[in-house]
Amino acid sequence: MALIKAIKGILPEWGKEVFIAENATIIGDVRLGDQCSVWFNAVIRGDVHYIRIGNKVNIQDNAVIHCTYQKHPTQIGNNVSIGHSAIVHGCTIEDNVLVGMGAIVMDNVYIEQNSIVAAGAVVLENTRIESGSIYAGVPAKKVKTLNEEQTSRLIERIANNYIMYADWLKED
């Protein structure tokens, strides 16, 4: 069973059709929407500030979601995929975003909708990622503009696949 802990009397909450892996950790002031999935060894720590996660969000294996004490909460919109081993810290992510495997998104970053942070990218503090863009590298820079069809095909496909994968595990 997943490790779910209260901090200062605040227990995490989640919506309908949510999958939480047996060894995931979710603590404190965390709210997840409907159809979310939190995968193996993922950690969501709402201990020093709040974390709000929308609907149809997948937090993949080994990802860490945290925030900054008394400064920066973490807010994640709808239809967002946080890749394997990514770190998302004290930032805001709008709807329809893919944060690639091993990416690091630092404090006070703002990621606009329909964007991709490439695998392994490091998005430095106070960066704003514009809608419809791919950012890659260390430090992350804009490398491409996406059209609406590219965005929906890739980002929507991954989010939908993770709902399907979670359903496979709920069946057993």
For position 150, what pLDDT does the model report? 81
**Tokens 């890659």 sit on residue:** 136
pLDDT tens column, 55-110: 999 999 999 999 999 999 999 999 999 999 999 999 999 999 999 999 999 999 99
SS3 169: helix
Quick one: what percent of the chain has pLDDT higher than 90? 91
SS3 134: strand
pTM for this structure? 0.96
| pLDDT-derived band at 171, boundaries 50, 70, 90 | low
**Tokens 């329809």 sit on residue:** 96
For position 96, what pLDDT does the model report? 95
Supply the mean pLDDT for the chain.
96
Residue 145: other Cβ atoms inside 10 A: 11
Length of the chain: 172
User: For the domain bounded by 3-171, which CATH number is listed?
Assistant: 2.160.10.10
| pLDDT-derived band at 160, boundaries 50, 70, 90 | very high
For position 84, what pLDDT does the model report? 98
Dihedral of CA atoms 19, 22, 27, 32 in degrees, nearest 10, equals: 0
Domain residue extents for the chain:
3-171
For position 172, what pLDDT does the model report? 55
